[in-house]
C-alpha cells in the first residue's frame, strides 16, 4: 500500500500562506530546495487541490526555460513535470504535464489510489490535505518550518474531529535556519 505524505513549508506559527495567500516569505534556500527536489524524485504521484495546482502550474511547466533559471530550478521543473499528478477540483477545466482531474469524492479516490502499486504519494494544499486528515488517510507529515512568525494566514493543519497521534521519524536542520520535522501517524 502506498503512503500518503503531507509535506509543505510552514511558518514557525504553523501557516503555509500569509493573509491574501502571500507566499513571499517562503522562498527556499538552495539547500532546502534541493531537499524538496530529491524527495520529489521518489514520489509515485502528487495530489493537488485547486489553489496549489494553479500556483504550481503557473510557474513550474516552463520555469527551466527562464533566462534566470538556476540549476535547482531547472532540476525541479523537470522532476515536477515527470511526476504523475491528480488535481481534485470541480472548476479546473484543463490540465497538462502528466496530470488528470478528479471531480468526484476525494476521500474515495485517495483511498483507492493508496491501494495501487507505485511510489509514495504527496498531498499538497491545505483544503485537500484537511479532508484527507479528517478521513485518517495521511500516513506521514513533513513540515519544513521556516524562521518566521506570520501571525495569521492559511494554517498547515486544519480543524480535526479527533486527535491524531504521531511518532517522530526524524529532524533535519538547514542553512537559513529551516528545520524539517517528519512524523508518522500512529494507528
Residue 176 belongs to a domain: no
Question: What confidence tens digit (pLDDT) does each residue in 7-40 have?
Answer: 999 999 999 999 999 999 999 999 999 999 999 9
Q: What's the length of the chain?
A: 187
Question: What confidence tens digit (pLDDT) does each residue in 139-164 have?
Answer: 999 999 999 999 999 999 988 989 99
Question: What confidence tens digit (pLDDT) does each residue in 91-141 have?
Answer: 999 999 999 999 999 999 999 999 999 999 999 999 999 999 999 999 999
69: its cell numbers: 533559471
Query: Distance between CA 57 and CA 97 in Å, rounded?
Result: 9
Is the per-residue pLDDT at 176 higher than 90?
Answer: no
Q: In this structure, what CATH number is given to the domain that contains residue 75?
A: 3.40.430.10
Instruction: Count structural domains, the chain.
Output: 1
Question: What confidence tens digit (pLDDT) does each residue in 29-75 have?
Answer: 999 999 999 999 999 999 999 999 999 999 999 999 999 999 999 99
Q: Is 149 helix (H, G, I), strand (E, B) or coil?
A: coil
DSSP letter at 177?
A: G
Closest CA to 133 of 156, 105, 104, 101: 156
Residue 26 belongs to a domain: no
Query: Distance between CA 79 and CA 66 in Å, rounded?
Result: 16
The per-type count for the chain, helices as H runs and strands as E runs, is 5, 10
Q: Where in the sequence is the domain holding 84, given as residue range(s)?
A: 4-21+34-159
Torsion of CA 149, 145, 54, 91, to 10 degrees: -90
Residue 181 belongs to a domain: no
Amino acid at each position: 500500500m502506498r503512503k500518503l505524505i503531507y509535506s509543505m513549508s510552514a511558518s514557525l506559527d504553523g501557516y503555509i500562506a500569509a493573509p491574501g495567500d502571500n507566499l513571499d516569505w517562503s522562498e527556499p534556500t538552495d539547500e532546502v530546495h534541493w531537499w524538496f527536489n530529491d524527495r520529489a524524485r521518489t514520489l509515485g504521484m502528487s495530489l493537488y487541490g485547486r489553489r496549489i495546482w494553479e500556483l504550481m502550474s503557473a510557474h513550474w511547466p516552463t520555469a527551466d526555460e527562464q533566462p534566470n533559471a538556476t540549476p535547482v530550478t531547472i532540476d525541479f521543473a523537470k522532476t515536477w513535470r515527470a511526476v504523475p499528478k491528480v488535481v481534485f477540483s470541480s472548476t479546473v477545466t484543463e490540465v497538462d504535464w502528466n496530470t488528470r482531474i478528479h471531480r468526484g469524492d476525494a476521500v474515495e479516490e485517495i483511498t483507492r489510489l493508496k491501494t495501487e502499486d507505485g511510489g509514495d504519494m504527496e498531498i499538497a494544499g491545505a483544503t485537500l490535505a484537511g479532508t484527507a486528515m479528517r478521513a485518517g488517510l495521511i500516513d506521514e507529515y513533513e513540515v519544513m518550518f521556516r524562521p518566521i512568525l506570520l501571525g495569521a494566514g492559511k494554517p498547515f493543519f486544519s480543524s480535526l474531529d479527533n486527535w491524531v497521534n504521531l511518532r517522530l521519524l526524524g529532524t533535519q536542520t538547514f542553512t537559513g535556519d529551516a528545520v524539517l520535522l517528519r512524523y508518522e501517524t500512529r494507528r
